[in-house]
Amino acid sequence: MHATDPVAWRLWGQEAIDEARREGKLLFVSSGNFSCYWCHVMQRENYLNPRIAALINHNFIPVLIDSELQPALDAQFMEFLNRALGYAGWPLQVFLTPDGYPLAGTVYAPPAEFEPMLLELAGEWKKDSKDLAARAQQAAAAHRQPLPPASDVLEKEADETSTAAFISQALAASDGEAGGFGKQSKFPATPQLQALLFAYSRTREAPLGNFLILTLDHMASGGLRDHLGGGFFRYTTDRNWQEPHFEKMLYDNAQLAILYLQAAQIFERPEYGQIGQETLDFMLRELSGPEGGMMSSLAAVGESMREGEYYLWNRSELEALLTPAEFRALNLAWDLENAPQRKGAHLPRDTQSAQQVAAALGVNPNVVKQLLQQARKKLLDARNARVLPHDGKQLAGLNGLALAALAQGTQLPNGKTYRRAGQHLRDYLVQTLWDGKQLHRLHTWKPGQSAEGTLEDYALTAKGLLAWSHVNHSEEDSRLAGRLIGEAWHRFYDEKTGWRLEQRPLLPIESAVAALPDGALPSASATLLSASLEWARTTQDNGLRKRTLAALNSGRLLVNDNPFDYASYAADLVQAQNY
């Protein structure tokens, strides 16, 4: 996407670091991803601006990274920005000293803010680079914390204490009117919802159940969900789940498919099962990649770079595609007269059932159902003819998560569809990304290049293979999951410093921590601990069990200080206590 930028982007690697050291310049590292709307805006406003590009090229060594190819580096920069600014997000820009320590950073900024920032930082660095470099190194050192000694015995009722604290903090942060968390923009926060659903399945506490139903209903009925093609967008800009940013991410949809399918059973709500099934169908239809895996995301912008254009319809388009009867039925089902618009265009959302539309029209409900089915097929066919760029990366961890979702889908009435798709996806992970010695994050993203797997890849792939081994009763898949678990402990954990996301970091920043928090994805360390407990129980491996309990105890301080951000750990503690 950035190939024609006037910014002289370098690839991340030792060569760029060496160049910065030779020339005594700051590294300017920009991280984002293909589906990030504001990354496109940042490029259009700043990186395609010849004056700003010249300023960057003259004063810095500019490096562009894909956050999905360099998740560990991106996570370190996110942490730095959160400490420095109190917030973070994509696109993120971090300025590193030639020795590799973060000095300053920003997220999206319009040219009127970004250009003066570049000028000021370049001037300060030329004036006193030694002092600034020393400050950056001291600030990084201040955040290094060795792991405290940890027992391999859990405290009595540690699971109940952590679960209660997590539920309390989650409900305190919840939106009692619209569901979800916070009262501004709304992200699904699926790891937290998954942990709450797990807790509710054990406690059956009414306030918790009511909040989950409220949230699941609002996410499904509003603009977060694609009512025409299935699947969910990344987030909405409002608290009521109405106005989405139109990226569609594999990680969101795989997690939400699992969440709705499990909620359908726990709450005995068949409509949740239908939503989960539609989400799986979307994944198979639109995210299946040419190599056998699933692609990581679909962009928010189409051919003309207008956000959401792929999903929006104006009235004249609908009337031209549909018969008068089909349009009348759809007009009522979508409540077009009162639906919010984006520059005269509508985002489909079902507000009236076929029975309600039939009553309003005075016709048989079966007739309305047929009209709506015909209308949806025509619109989907027309939408499929539109162009929507996709991010073709087929990443190990995200595909492991998708495999777990397909394993859940095999329990549906038409489970054979998901069983076939799951076996195909399993083969991609096992035969393409696993080479017998290590797991690759993806096969090839450029000719002759392959990315090493991260902790996230090993953990999510192991968890997905364990789930799939229960579906196909495969000892081979179970054993491979165990092999991945062992490799992950060897590659990414140190009893003295904790978890790290990547195997061979290039920066001197201490990135190991006692516990990794949940984000848009479940915590990689918590996922591996969960898989380890399951594998230890299966194989009666008491050594792995003790090591897992010690790692859980090492992270307890972080978990106890902010249980909401470490929701997956609450579920791990329950799993460990019930070993």
As annotated, the residues of the chain forming the CATH 3.40.30.10 domain(s) are 14-141
CA 79-85-86 angle, to 5 degrees, is 70
Architecture of domain 14-141 in CATH?
3-Layer(aba) Sandwich (3.40)
pLDDT of residue 262: 98
As annotated, the residues of the chain forming the CATH 1.10.10 domain(s) are 313-385
Dihedral sign from CA coordinates of 196, 202, 208, 212? positive
* C-alpha to C-alpha distance for 484 and 477, rounded to whole angstroms: 11
pLDDT of residue 512: 77
Q: Could you count the other beta carbons within 10 Å of the beta carbon of residue 152? A: 15
Pair of tokens at residue 313: 């319809």
Say if domain 313-385 classifies as CATH 1.10.10. Answer: yes
Query: Which of the residues in the chain have pLDDT under 50?
Result: 448
Architecture of domain 174-301 in CATH?
Alpha/alpha barrel (1.50)
pLDDT of residue 389: 85
pLDDT of residue 510: 63
pLDDT of residue 448: 46
pLDDT of residue 111: 94
As annotated, the residues of the chain forming the CATH 1.50.10.10 domain(s) are 174-301
DSSP state of 294: B
Taking the model in full, what pTM does it have? 0.89
CB contact at 8 A, 60 and 122: yes
Which DSSP string do the residues of 197-258 spell out, in sequence order? HHHHHHH--HHHHHHHHHHHHHHHHSTTB-TTT--B-SEESSTTS-SEE--EEHHHHHHHHH
Backbone angles phi, psi at 92, to 5 degrees: -115, 140
